[in-house]
A and B are shown apart, each in its own frame.
Chain A
Amino acid sequence: MAFQILLNVFLGFMWMFLTGSYEPVAFLKGYLFGLLIIFTFRRFFDSRFYLLRVVAVINLLFIFIKELILANIGVLKVLLKPKLDMRPGIFAYPTVLKEDWEIMVLSNLITLTPGTLVVDVSPDNKILYIHAIDIEDAKETIDSIKNTFEKAIMEVSR
C-alpha cells in the first residue's frame, strides 16, 4: 500500500515537471491522473488498489465514533436507573485476528462499545477477556463484535 502511494506522489511530481508549472494545483492534477494510471495497472501490484483501503479506514473511524456515542447512552441508562440491578461478569471471546495492531484496534473498539471493557489479552493473542456490565447482553455483544468490528478490521488489513 505504501509503495502505491509513493508511486502516486512520484507521478504527481512527474506531471509537474512535464507541464512546467510548479503549483499545488498542478501537483493535485498530476496526482489524480496518477491515481487513474495506478487503477489501470492494478493487476501488477501485490496488494489491492489502495483507495479501497483508505475507504475502509474511514469506515472504521465512523464505526469508532458511532460506538462511542452509543456507549455513553448505555452507561447513562445503567447509571440513572433507580436500582442497581445489572449483572456484571468477565467472559472469554476468541478472536480470529492475528496481527498485533489488529488486536489493539479491536480491543480499543470493544472498550468503547456499550457495556464492555477489555481486561486481559491471552499471551498467544487468541482470546480476549472482556468485562461486561450486563452479562445477559453478552451473547448479542459477541455476535455484533463478530459481524461489524472484526469484518471492518479485516477489510482494512486484507
Chain B
Amino acid sequence: MNEIANIAIIVLIIIGAFLSLVAAYGVIRLPDIYTRNHAASKSATLGVMSILLGTLLFFYVKDGFFNSRVLLGIVFIFMTSPVAGHLIARAAYNSGVKLWDQSVQDDLKNAPHMKKSASKDQ
C-alpha cells in the first residue's frame, strides 16, 4: 500500500513540475498574448494542482495528517485561474493589443458592442 502511494506521489509531483516547465516554455515561445494565455492559464493550473495533490498525499501517508488547507487551495486555484486568464485576454483586447499577424479570423472586431466603444475613442 505504501509503495503504491509513494509511486503515485512521485508521478504527481513530476507531472506537476513538468507542466509548469511547459507553461514557462510556452510563454517564451508563443507569438502573441492570446496564445501565450492559452499556455499560461491551462498548463499552470493543472501543474500547481497536481503538485498540491502530491503534497497532500505525501503528508497523509507519512504522518497520517490530512491537511484540508491544501485541498482548499486546489479548489481555489481551479476556480480562479480560468477567470484570471479570461480577464487578462479581455483587458488586452479592449486596450487594443493586436493579434498575431498569421491569425485568420477576428469576429470580435465587427461585434456591435465593440464598434460603439471604438467610435467613442476616436
Contacts and interface: CB of A to CB of B under 8 A. Distances in A.
Interface of A: 64, 68-69, 71-72, 75-76, 78-80, 84, 86-92, 107-108, 111-112, 115, 117-120, 122-123, 127, 129, 131, 133, 135
A92 B107 contact: yes
Interface stretch (B1-9, B65-73, B98-106): B98-106
A87 B37 contact: no
Contacts of B42: 68, 71-72, 75, 112
Contacts of B90: 119-120
A108 B86 CA distance: 9
16 contacts: A64-B78, A72-B42, A75-B38, A75-B42, A76-B43, A78-B38, A84-B29, A87-B102, A88-B32, A89-B105, A92-B107, A117-B34, A117-B38, A120-B93, A123-B113, A135-B104
Contact of B104 (A71, A89, A92, A122): A89
Mostly, the A contact residues are: mixed
B111 A92 contact: yes
Residue picked from A87, A108, A111, most chain B C-beta under 10 Å: A111
A122 B114 CA distance: 9
Nearest to A87: B104
Contact of A119 (B25, B34, B46): B34
Nearest to B47: A72
Contacts of A133: 35, 38
B105 A111 contact: no
Contacts of A86: 35
A87 B83 contact: no
Nearest to A69: B46
A88 B107 contact: no
